[in-house]
Structure 1
Amino acid sequence: MALAQCPSCRKRVSSKATECPHCQFVFAGHSEQDLEREFIRIQQEKRDKLVSRSMLALLIAIAGFVYLFLQQPMPETWQYNVAVGVLVAGLLWFVVNRVQLLFVKRKRK
Protein backbone atom coordinates (compact mmCIF):
# COMPACT_ATOMS: atom_id res chain seq x y z
CA MET A 1 0.00 0.00 0.00
CA ALA A 2 1.59 3.25 -1.15
CA LEU A 3 0.63 6.81 -0.32
CA ALA A 4 -0.57 9.16 -3.02
CA GLN A 5 -1.57 12.80 -3.08
CA CYS A 6 -5.25 13.76 -3.35
CA PRO A 7 -5.73 16.04 -6.39
CA SER A 8 -8.32 18.08 -4.56
CA CYS A 9 -6.90 18.78 -1.09
CA ARG A 10 -3.27 17.70 -1.69
CA LYS A 11 -3.19 15.56 1.46
CA ARG A 12 -1.63 12.10 1.51
CA VAL A 13 -4.03 9.18 1.16
CA SER A 14 -3.75 5.48 0.45
CA SER A 15 -3.38 4.57 -3.21
CA LYS A 16 -6.04 1.90 -2.70
CA ALA A 17 -8.63 4.33 -1.32
CA THR A 18 -11.72 4.96 -3.46
CA GLU A 19 -12.23 8.46 -2.06
CA CYS A 20 -10.25 10.95 -0.01
CA PRO A 21 -11.08 10.74 3.72
CA HIS A 22 -10.31 14.46 4.11
CA CYS A 23 -12.35 16.06 1.31
CA GLN A 24 -14.42 13.12 -0.02
CA PHE A 25 -13.04 13.50 -3.57
CA VAL A 26 -13.82 10.29 -5.52
CA PHE A 27 -10.76 8.90 -7.33
CA ALA A 28 -12.47 6.27 -9.49
CA GLY A 29 -13.52 7.21 -13.01
CA HIS A 30 -11.43 10.37 -13.36
CA SER A 31 -8.98 10.91 -16.18
CA GLU A 32 -5.74 12.84 -15.83
CA GLN A 33 -7.41 15.92 -17.36
CA ASP A 34 -10.25 15.71 -14.81
CA LEU A 35 -7.75 15.62 -11.97
CA GLU A 36 -5.86 18.59 -13.43
CA ARG A 37 -9.11 20.58 -13.79
CA GLU A 38 -9.98 19.79 -10.18
CA PHE A 39 -6.58 21.06 -9.04
CA ILE A 40 -6.97 24.26 -11.07
CA ARG A 41 -10.49 24.79 -9.69
CA ILE A 42 -9.30 24.41 -6.09
CA GLN A 43 -6.40 26.82 -6.69
CA GLN A 44 -8.77 29.40 -8.21
CA GLU A 45 -11.12 29.12 -5.22
CA LYS A 46 -8.19 29.76 -2.87
CA ARG A 47 -7.12 32.80 -4.92
CA ASP A 48 -10.67 34.19 -4.93
CA LYS A 49 -10.99 33.82 -1.16
CA LEU A 50 -7.66 35.53 -0.55
CA VAL A 51 -8.52 38.41 -2.88
CA SER A 52 -11.87 38.88 -1.11
CA ARG A 53 -10.22 38.87 2.30
CA SER A 54 -7.56 41.34 1.19
CA MET A 55 -10.22 43.73 -0.12
CA LEU A 56 -12.09 43.47 3.18
CA ALA A 57 -8.87 44.22 5.05
CA LEU A 58 -8.22 47.21 2.81
CA LEU A 59 -11.74 48.53 3.45
CA ILE A 60 -11.19 48.22 7.20
CA ALA A 61 -7.92 50.13 6.93
CA ILE A 62 -9.59 52.83 4.83
CA ALA A 63 -12.40 53.12 7.38
CA GLY A 64 -9.86 53.74 10.15
CA PHE A 65 -8.06 56.34 8.03
CA VAL A 66 -11.29 58.12 7.06
CA TYR A 67 -12.33 58.32 10.71
CA LEU A 68 -8.95 59.78 11.64
CA PHE A 69 -9.11 62.27 8.76
CA LEU A 70 -12.71 63.43 9.22
CA GLN A 71 -13.18 63.32 12.99
CA GLN A 72 -9.61 64.23 13.96
CA PRO A 73 -9.79 62.85 17.49
CA MET A 74 -7.32 64.15 20.04
CA PRO A 75 -4.23 61.96 20.48
CA GLU A 76 -4.18 59.74 23.56
CA THR A 77 -7.98 59.37 23.57
CA TRP A 78 -9.61 55.99 23.15
CA GLN A 79 -11.19 57.06 19.84
CA TYR A 80 -7.78 57.92 18.42
CA ASN A 81 -6.25 54.67 19.67
CA VAL A 82 -9.09 52.57 18.23
CA ALA A 83 -8.89 54.33 14.85
CA VAL A 84 -5.13 53.84 14.64
CA GLY A 85 -5.50 50.23 15.77
CA VAL A 86 -8.11 49.54 13.09
CA LEU A 87 -5.93 51.22 10.47
CA VAL A 88 -2.83 49.22 11.42
CA ALA A 89 -4.72 45.94 11.80
CA GLY A 90 -6.37 46.39 8.39
CA LEU A 91 -3.05 47.16 6.71
CA LEU A 92 -1.31 44.19 8.34
CA TRP A 93 -4.16 41.87 7.40
CA PHE A 94 -3.99 43.18 3.82
CA VAL A 95 -0.24 42.57 3.57
CA VAL A 96 -0.52 39.06 5.03
CA ASN A 97 -3.27 38.16 2.57
CA ARG A 98 -1.29 39.48 -0.38
CA VAL A 99 1.77 37.45 0.65
CA GLN A 100 -0.41 34.35 0.95
CA LEU A 101 -1.81 35.08 -2.49
CA LEU A 102 1.72 35.22 -3.90
CA PHE A 103 2.48 31.79 -2.46
CA VAL A 104 -0.77 30.31 -3.79
CA LYS A 105 -0.06 31.71 -7.28
CA ARG A 106 3.48 30.29 -7.25
CA LYS A 107 2.32 26.87 -6.11
CA ARG A 108 2.33 24.38 -8.95
CA LYS A 109 1.43 20.75 -9.23
Structure 2
Amino acid sequence: MALINCPNCQKRISDKAKTCSHCHTSMAGESESKATIRHIEKSNKLMNHSFIFMTLFVFGAVLWFWGGEVAQGYKLIISSACFAIGFIGYLITRVRIVLHKRKSV
Protein backbone atom coordinates (compact mmCIF):
# COMPACT_ATOMS: atom_id res chain seq x y z
CA MET A 1 0.00 0.00 0.00
CA ALA A 2 1.36 3.39 -1.03
CA LEU A 3 0.24 6.92 -0.31
CA ILE A 4 -0.67 9.14 -3.27
CA ASN A 5 -2.00 12.68 -3.61
CA CYS A 6 -5.69 13.09 -4.31
CA PRO A 7 -6.07 14.68 -7.77
CA ASN A 8 -8.70 17.07 -6.46
CA CYS A 9 -7.59 18.23 -2.98
CA GLN A 10 -3.91 17.12 -3.06
CA LYS A 11 -4.14 15.43 0.36
CA ARG A 12 -2.40 12.08 0.96
CA ILE A 13 -4.61 9.00 0.60
CA SER A 14 -4.09 5.28 0.03
CA ASP A 15 -3.62 4.13 -3.56
CA LYS A 16 -6.18 1.39 -2.83
CA ALA A 17 -8.96 3.83 -1.86
CA LYS A 18 -11.98 4.05 -4.17
CA THR A 19 -12.77 7.63 -3.07
CA CYS A 20 -10.86 10.35 -1.28
CA SER A 21 -11.71 10.42 2.43
CA HIS A 22 -11.29 14.22 2.50
CA CYS A 23 -13.18 15.50 -0.58
CA HIS A 24 -15.01 12.30 -1.64
CA THR A 25 -13.65 12.43 -5.20
CA SER A 26 -13.85 9.14 -7.06
CA MET A 27 -10.46 7.61 -7.85
CA ALA A 28 -11.77 5.65 -10.86
CA GLY A 29 -9.40 6.25 -13.79
CA GLU A 30 -9.76 10.03 -14.13
CA SER A 31 -7.10 10.91 -11.58
CA GLU A 32 -4.33 10.98 -14.21
CA SER A 33 -6.23 13.35 -16.49
CA LYS A 34 -7.26 15.63 -13.60
CA ALA A 35 -3.65 15.88 -12.46
CA THR A 36 -2.53 16.71 -16.00
CA ILE A 37 -5.19 19.38 -16.38
CA ARG A 38 -4.25 20.94 -13.04
CA HIS A 39 -0.57 20.91 -14.04
CA ILE A 40 -1.39 22.71 -17.31
CA GLU A 41 -3.59 25.25 -15.52
CA LYS A 42 -0.81 26.04 -13.04
CA SER A 43 1.68 26.40 -15.93
CA ASN A 44 -0.66 28.85 -17.67
CA LYS A 45 -1.12 30.84 -14.46
CA LEU A 46 2.63 31.11 -13.95
CA MET A 47 3.17 32.19 -17.56
CA ASN A 48 0.52 34.91 -17.14
CA HIS A 49 2.28 36.14 -14.01
CA SER A 50 5.56 36.17 -15.90
CA PHE A 51 4.00 38.24 -18.69
CA ILE A 52 2.51 40.74 -16.22
CA PHE A 53 5.83 41.26 -14.43
CA MET A 54 7.72 41.62 -17.73
CA THR A 55 5.18 44.23 -18.87
CA LEU A 56 5.61 46.11 -15.59
CA PHE A 57 9.40 45.99 -16.00
CA VAL A 58 9.24 47.38 -19.56
CA PHE A 59 6.71 50.04 -18.50
CA GLY A 60 9.10 51.22 -15.77
CA ALA A 61 12.02 51.40 -18.20
CA VAL A 62 10.00 53.29 -20.84
CA LEU A 63 8.59 55.75 -18.28
CA TRP A 64 12.08 56.38 -16.93
CA PHE A 65 13.44 57.54 -20.31
CA TRP A 66 10.25 58.93 -21.91
CA GLY A 67 10.85 62.18 -23.79
CA GLY A 68 14.61 61.76 -24.17
CA GLU A 69 15.64 62.69 -20.64
CA VAL A 70 15.80 60.86 -17.34
CA ALA A 71 12.65 61.07 -15.20
CA GLN A 72 12.52 63.38 -12.21
CA GLY A 73 10.19 63.81 -9.26
CA TYR A 74 7.18 61.55 -9.00
CA LYS A 75 7.88 59.98 -12.42
CA LEU A 76 11.24 58.80 -11.12
CA ILE A 77 9.62 57.17 -8.09
CA ILE A 78 6.87 55.48 -10.13
CA SER A 79 9.22 54.29 -12.85
CA SER A 80 11.77 52.99 -10.34
CA ALA A 81 9.09 51.11 -8.42
CA CYS A 82 7.64 49.56 -11.60
CA PHE A 83 11.12 48.67 -12.82
CA ALA A 84 12.16 47.03 -9.53
CA ILE A 85 8.87 45.22 -8.86
CA GLY A 86 8.72 43.99 -12.44
CA PHE A 87 12.31 42.74 -12.43
CA ILE A 88 12.15 40.99 -9.06
CA GLY A 89 8.69 39.56 -9.74
CA TYR A 90 9.82 38.25 -13.12
CA LEU A 91 12.86 36.52 -11.61
CA ILE A 92 10.80 34.91 -8.85
CA THR A 93 8.16 33.77 -11.34
CA ARG A 94 10.78 32.26 -13.64
CA VAL A 95 12.22 30.27 -10.72
CA ARG A 96 8.70 29.07 -9.87
CA ILE A 97 8.19 28.02 -13.51
CA VAL A 98 11.42 26.00 -13.52
CA LEU A 99 10.50 24.30 -10.23
CA HIS A 100 6.99 23.58 -11.56
CA LYS A 101 8.39 22.00 -14.72
CA ARG A 102 10.60 19.71 -12.64
CA LYS A 103 7.55 18.33 -10.85
CA SER A 104 6.18 15.17 -12.35
CA VAL A 105 2.55 15.20 -13.39
Alignment partner of 1:10 is 2:10:
yes
Cα root mean square deviation, aligned: 2.4
- TM-score, reference length from structure 2: 0.78
- TM-score, reference length from structure 1: 0.76
Q: Which residue of 2 aligns with 1:82?
A: 78
The DSSP-based 3-state class of the residue aligned with 1:102 is: helix
- The share of aligned pairs that are identical, in percent, is 24
Instruction: Judge conservation of contact 1:6–1:20 (CA < 8 Å) in 2.
Output: no
1:17 is displaced (CA, Å) by 7.6
- The unaligned stretches of length 5 or more in structure 2 are none
- The unaligned stretches of length 5 or more in structure 1 are none
- Residue deviations 1:38-91, cap 9 Å, x none? 1111110000000001101111111111111114323xx232122111101011
Pairing of 1:1-109 with structure 2 (within 5 A): 4-13=4-13, 18-19=19-20, 21=22, 24=23, 26-28=25-27, 30-31=28-29, 34-71=30-67, 72-74=70-72, 77-109=73-105
Q: Residues 42 and 25 from structure 1, CA distance in 2 versus in 1: closer, same or farther, beyond 3 angstroms? A: farther
The 1-side partners of 2:5 and 2:85 are apart by 36
- Residue deviations 1:81-109, cap 9 Å, x none? 22111101011111111110111111015
Counterpart code for 2:7: P
The DSSP-based 3-state class of the residue aligned with 2:26 is: coil
Q: Residues 61 and 25 from structure 1, CA distance in 2 versus in 1: closer, same or farther, beyond 3 angstroms? A: farther
Counterpart code for 2:10: R
The 2-side partners of 1:88 and 1:53 are apart by 15
Q: Residues 25 and 47 from structure 1, CA distance in 2 versus in 1: closer, same or farther, beyond 3 angstroms? A: farther
